[in-house]
Amino acid sequence: MRDHGRVSRWARAAAGMGCGLVATALTAHPVAVAAPPGAEYVALGDSGAATTGVQHLDLTAPPLCARSTVNTPATVAEQLGLRLDDRTCSSARITHLTSAQGAGIAPQFEALGPATRLVTLHIGANDANFTRHVVACHLGTVAGRDCADPAWDAEIDAIAGDYAAALRQITALAPGAAIFVDGWPSYTDGRTCAAMLGLDTAGAARIQAAFDRLNGVVAAQARAAGATYVDTVAAARGHDMCAPPGVRWFEPVVADQTLVPYHPTVEGMRGVAEVVVAAVRASGFR
């Protein structure tokens, strides 16, 4: 009996040492915990946010996206000190937020997650066929026709449902993120010039009215979803396509900086970024 008790004491001691060794090993080598998914700042959108045309192209981005290293998202990230995952891509439509735009271009929403703190969104003009209607306005002016196509207004209004659904999904995928939706600035200021290749004042006014209508649709959906709408129209006045190079925020038809008409110049991207940053800071974002 005495030997049996001695063995039991040794067994208990060995078991205690084993538990201690296991505990020490676990303390010395903690199990790695994966960080929550999602980039800190995710930029979503089309060419209005992605590109400055041929200037400062990001050679690491898919070529179709024509993404610039000095676009609005890049400037916003720099000024706010945030790590950016820029998913903006030229020609993107709302459907490309959730589906691949092409080979090597993943759905833009893949960058979102619980770790995402800031989201900026600029999209919708391609869904409302702005390129086709703007070209029709220019051709109509040359042919002496009015470009006030009522179908354009209907196509603009029709994006509301898809836009609202996209905003709801952003909130679901990145529940802790502040969402900022920036609109379309002043493009023509209701005037025209030689660089617009004969576009008359009526055509210029019609084009700007379409952008203003698009702003109204997007702003309404942003506010309904609890996102912040960033109005860039006032800040862009005096920087329209007929302003001098270095002052204008968008290229006219005779483009001499970015070579892409109706798209932002470097000055335009910086100007819009300043308005977005001011809105983010005013919201109390930290």
Boundaries of every domain in the chain: 1-33, 36-282
Q: How confident is the model at residue 286 (pLDDT cuts 50, 70, 90)?
A: confident
First to last CA, the chain: 71
User: How far does Cα 80 stand from its chain's mean position?
Assistant: 16
pLDDT at 3 over 60: no
DSSP character at residue 57: B
Q: How confident is the model at residue 191 (pLDDT cuts 50, 70, 90)?
A: confident
CATH architecture assigned to 36-282: 3-Layer(aba) Sandwich (3.40)
Give percent of the chain with pLDDT exceeding 90: 74
- pLDDT digit string, tens, across residues 232-272: 999 999 999 999 999 999 999 999 888 999 999 999 999 99
- pLDDT digit string, tens, across residues 195-219: 998 898 989 999 999 999 999 999 9
- Which residue type occupies 67? R
The confidence score (pLDDT) of residue 140 equals 76
Residues 136, 152: Cα–Cα separation, whole Å: 11
- pLDDT digit string, tens, across residues 57-97: 999 999 999 999 999 999 999 999 999 999 999 999 999 99
277, two tokens: 């940053």
Residues 108, 99: Cα–Cα separation, whole Å: 8
The confidence score (pLDDT) of residue 224 equals 98
pLDDT at 34 over 70: no
Catalytic residue among 4, 29, 47, 239: 47
Which residue(s) pair with 178 in the sheet?
Answer: 118
Is 122 in the active site? Answer: no
Q: Do residues 114 and 175 touch, judged by C-beta distance below 8 A?
A: yes
Residues 6+ apart with CB under 8 A from 186: 208, 233, 236, 237, 239, 240
The confidence score (pLDDT) of residue 59 equals 93
- pLDDT digit string, tens, across residues 15-31: 443 444 334 444 445 55
pLDDT at 51 over 70: yes
DSSP character at residue 94: G
- Nearest Cα neighbor of 225 from 283, 167, 175 is 167
The confidence score (pLDDT) of residue 17 equals 39
The confidence score (pLDDT) of residue 35 equals 62
Chain mean pLDDT for the chain: 88
Which residue(s) pair with 182 in the sheet?
Answer: 230
For residue 173, what are the CA distances in angstroms to 94, 167, 170, 230, 283?
A: 16, 10, 5, 22, 21
Q: What values do phi and psi take at 59, rounded to 5?
A: -75, -10
Q: Do residues 75 and 3 touch, judged by C-beta distance below 8 A?
A: no
The confidence score (pLDDT) of residue 147 equals 78
Is 47 in the active site? Answer: yes
pLDDT at 12 over 50: no
